[in-house]
Structure 1
Amino acid sequence: MISGKSVILFDGVCNLCNASIDFIIKRDKKNRFLVGALQEEAGKKLLSRFEVNSEYLDSLVLIEDGQVYFRSTAALKIAKNLPGLWPLFYLLIFLPSSLRDGIYDWIGKNRYRWFGKKNTCRLPSPEEKAKFL
């Protein structure tokens, strides 16, 4: 997408989302992904470029090859591009999206209660700066 990379936009104040981004960054040895918070200006601009409401915070967003993916589809497409056994999770793409997204939405609705949230968006460490929008 940007510089030939896929972009992952996430809820920057959600502890679960931040842990997931840490997980992805650690495993993204091929530098395939750029990440950014949905709440930050760069993320909002990118969403509006794809005609998605810039106030959208309901799920992980993956922008890849000019397409926008949400919720479980975004998560599975990301897993497909991680090393190790993670691509096996992509087989779940064959389940109906209503089932996959139902589980995703249930976790999403409870994420702050179960995992907590920060007062502000996470800032990248100096080593991570190149991975952020």
Structure 2
Amino acid sequence: MQPRQAYSYRNDPSVPDFTDDHPIIVFDGECIFCSGWVNFVLRHDRQGRYRFITAQSPLGEALYRHYGLDSRNYETNILLDAGIAYLKSEGSFRMAAGLGFPWTLACVFRVIPRRIRDPLYEVVARNRYRIAGRRNNCFVPTPEHRARFLA
């Protein structure tokens, strides 16, 4: 992915307008592993910081294309925080840090160079359907969490 300016998607006519006043996690809504991560975040995000978008939604697909990612084979979640996209291991560590203590402790793994941790992330991402399976339908939030999902 090419680094982009913060909020660059606002100037991309192919990306629909959306509310970006909270950090946003864009995830593969058909992946049981990814949906499990979202459920984990929903349980532990006591401040209700995060908003969510499924990669399969028109907005999710547009964001993947905007960042030069494959909009059909979602091998990374995207964390949009203050308009900046974080991918792979960096995105995951930042997501965990946003949950507060004790999840911020996961950031100790950031001492591992990205050239080592991102390939490990990619192995899991490529095999996520084999590891956890795939849903027939996209992730559907519970009524109590529906307001935190965009698009």
Normalised by the size of structure 2, how large is the TM-score?
0.80
Residues in 2 aligned to 1:12 and 1:38: alpha-carbon distance in whole angstroms: 6
Residues in 1 aligned to 2:117 and 2:100: alpha-carbon distance in whole angstroms: 22
User: Aligned residue for 2:28?
Assistant: 11
User: Aligned residue for 1:99?
Assistant: 116
Contact 1:45 1:54 in 2 (8 A): no
Contact 1:14 1:118 in 2 (8 A): yes
In structure 2, which of residues 24, 43, 59 is the aligned counterpart of residue 42 of structure 1?
A: 59
Give the letter aligned to residue 83 of structure 1: G
User: What is the RMSD of the two structures over their aligned residues, measured on CA atoms?
Assistant: 1.7
Structure 1 position 29, deviation (Å): 1.5
Identify unmatched segments of 5+ residues in structure 2: 1-6, 8-18
Structure 1 position 124, deviation (Å): 1.2
Residues in 1 aligned to 2:69 and 2:133: alpha-carbon distance in whole angstroms: 25
Contact 1:72 1:100 in 2 (8 A): yes
Structure 1 position 44, deviation (Å): 2.3
Identify unmatched segments of 5+ residues in structure 1: none
Residues in 1 aligned to 2:80 and 2:27: alpha-carbon distance in whole angstroms: 12
Residues in 1 aligned to 2:21 and 2:70: alpha-carbon distance in whole angstroms: 23
Contact 2:41 2:99 in 1 (8 A): yes
Q: Which of the pair has more CA radius of gyration? A: 2
Structure 1 position 54, deviation (Å): 6.6
SS in 2 for 1:62: strand
Deviation >3 Å, runs of 4+: 45-48, 50-54
Residues in 2 aligned to 1:104 and 1:51: alpha-carbon distance in whole angstroms: 18
Over the matched positions of the two proteins, sequence identity in percent amounts to 28
In structure 2, which of residues 36, 46, 56 is the aligned counterpart of residue 29 of structure 1?
A: 46
For residues 43-122 of structure 1, the aligned pairs below 5 Å read: 43-48=60-65, 50-53=66-69, 55=71, 57-122=74-139
Contact 1:25 1:131 in 2 (8 A): no
Normalised by the size of structure 1, how large is the TM-score?
0.90
Q: 1:26 to 1:111 in 2, by over 3 A?
A: same
Aligned length: 132
Give the letter aligned to residue 71 of structure 2: E
